[in-house]
Structure 1
């Protein structure tokens, strides 16, 4: 927080401090004013604020800390012992401004923060106390009731101002003498700042000294200030002179260093150019077909480089480069001679060609077809540029002849060219219109119609006649740019739509696959809900490519329709599936081999019986299947009775249970039925007695309770396994007979 170089780092460090003592340390000692103020603003502990006001040597934070103090003791401590005099004066001013301040308020300076003053000398010992009568005179005058009228009601004369306290006079004298002494001995750069501060402190003192002595001290203070300013000016002038001299020396040294650097750079550049030139000469000497211009220019540069090498101070390096340049020149010079001879030969042959071009140009003067004349003249101009070099003694004559014929042709072609220019301008306007229409269509999103319109515009563009090359090229760039922008946007939109189509197709194919998975499901209600969800999701998916839209829709529709058809026939399908399953279980029992081991037979039969029970009772129209199942089961159990011992199909256990159930139902039969030997008259007599005695309701209740037990016995009978043979048949008939007799024994109301 105190020593970081970056202001942002210091501010961040101060923001993370929470300890009041650490913040007080930063506020007292940080060199940066902003950091000190930030640390002081973060302090909320009165003790830490008092510590900053007492010990900080920086005026800004010390005075600001005093302004935030409320405790009287802390303010008195700062006023008495603060290191910064401005903070001490501010504390004293705050104390004096409070109600009930001490009578010794004259010791304080004005409440406004005054400029910082140097530390004052120790307070001199107080003068001897005044006589008691003098001390008591003031209270007597102060305690007088000035508001009460006198006996004569005559106004009193104004009282004389009280005599200043000798101690205050002595304190002022010592402070003024200390300021003068400080100014008289002050030197250095801080003198100028202290001058204005001292003046403010001097003028802020309340004059209590006698005028002669005060005038003498004022004169001494003025002399001290003038001498201090002269000393400061002399020091500043001397330092300015030293600074200017140092700057002149530095500038001279910089100029010399730059001159040496420029010279060194120039020599290095000279060496580099010479080395590069030597390399270029060597390359040209090895080249198969250098141009005469390149060779002659290299030879001229070689002469200039040899002259420049004289300034290179290193003799060995200078001589090495010079020898290399001379060797390269010697190797290149014969090739230069050959190129000059070849150039002379070329010029000689070009003279005959220029003669022929002059004749062709002169022959065009008689041509009537101006368009043909213009075209051939352009061809002649191109050919002339290719053979423009001729022998120096003939070049001027041939050029003037060609120019004369060319000027006559231009004079003939000028009206024709003007007319073509007008036509070109008209064509240019037509192209501008086409460009405007194309640019207006560049932002369209009606892709098909706009594409057709652009094709029509391109056809019209081709039909427009010739136009000036440069503006026509610019218009063509605009026209092509507008078309490119439109077709690029169209391609981007098509790519985007293709991407969307592909994504939509993938989603729809996923829905088709899911629907195809569900179309054979027999879990009807959940599958129906899922199919409805798939149909709703299908409607939210966007379009796909037209070539695939119908196929994917037919696929999805086929899967959904297949399930819906099965869903409409779910009851029939369920019954058919159950019947098929029961038929399979019956065949499985019927196909049990007779020679199978008992363990395998028992496991297989028990499993089939468990599945039959889980499938629920067969429907009424499936009695044949139920009979076949019972016959097959009984056959297997009868063939292997030992295999089912201690299982639910154990014949002996089932026979015992059947007997118990028969006995249980028979025990519920009415007692009248058991008295088979009683006469009919006796039974009628007992029945009549029961009706006449009001017991009919009780008999009905007993019968219903017994009926519940009979129904439970019937349910238990159905869960029993088979008992093969006559024993099972007899027990079945017995149980059925008992149940029927019980049903017939229900009390009936008498008429």
Structure 2
């Protein structure tokens, strides 16, 4: 009989393996020596050991699924328990037990990781839903739309939850996106309507502006153009292409009118500046009449100046008040001279002046006599009162005498 630590071959060629539970038959050998038999069954053992080693490496270094790993372990365990091999089968069984523990540990770790990932994914998806529901109320159409599309990409990159939770969150997420899309569509539909109304209104404004471009009623037309511009600004914007086209027409019509007006005004201003020069010369000629020495000559000269003044025409608006004020000064001096002359030659006025002078002189004489009488009586109070009245009457008398002198005597 031939044997080694893990097995033996009896005289009849039966091969045994030794285990902790005792010996068991693994086969028989009739074709050669017992040593060859043990060598053959040892190689069988080594083959099983190699498979176990490969499985250990896969479990420890790859993402081999726990289910697949357990299937492979059970297959190898059957080979260890029932296989025809000679070697330390108990050690192989222990290695498989250890591997089972590692697989179970890995399974728990993965289960925990999946649970954690699910929790994180749920938190992330709830955050996406909350943000999408906020964005659903936004009026920042472009920014909110871009962000919602980005949220969809983020959602797709997250792991699925349990079906119920995932469906509920997706329903809220999808509803928020749909609500935003409906609001945006309604907004732009309203905006399109407003822009079309603006286009129609601005077409009318452009037509009116074009109809006014040839007007020569400068003031009224310029005022109407200002009103049209106010209406244009209040009308809102049309679609860009229509807006640009209508603005070109509207602005072009204004330009035609205002360029024509500017040309006329420039020509008129040039003529008015020339008129200003001529009227300044007339004012100097009129001012040379002051002071008035000969009223008749001054009146004739002023009449000539006035006739030429009217023939000249308009001057620039800013120059008109000063020129007219200077001419009016000369006119006023001549009128005052006329008034003075008339006063001197008016018999009725002379008689009234003489009568007033006589009355005042009589009043002065009377007061003087009354003062002498009061002084003789020693009535100083009455003297003071009468002297005050006398001073006033004398002042009036002096003025009357001066006026009478103006009548020549």
Q: How high is the TM-score relative to the length of structure 1? A: 0.21
Name which structure has the greater RCO, CA cutoff 8 Å, separation 6+: 2
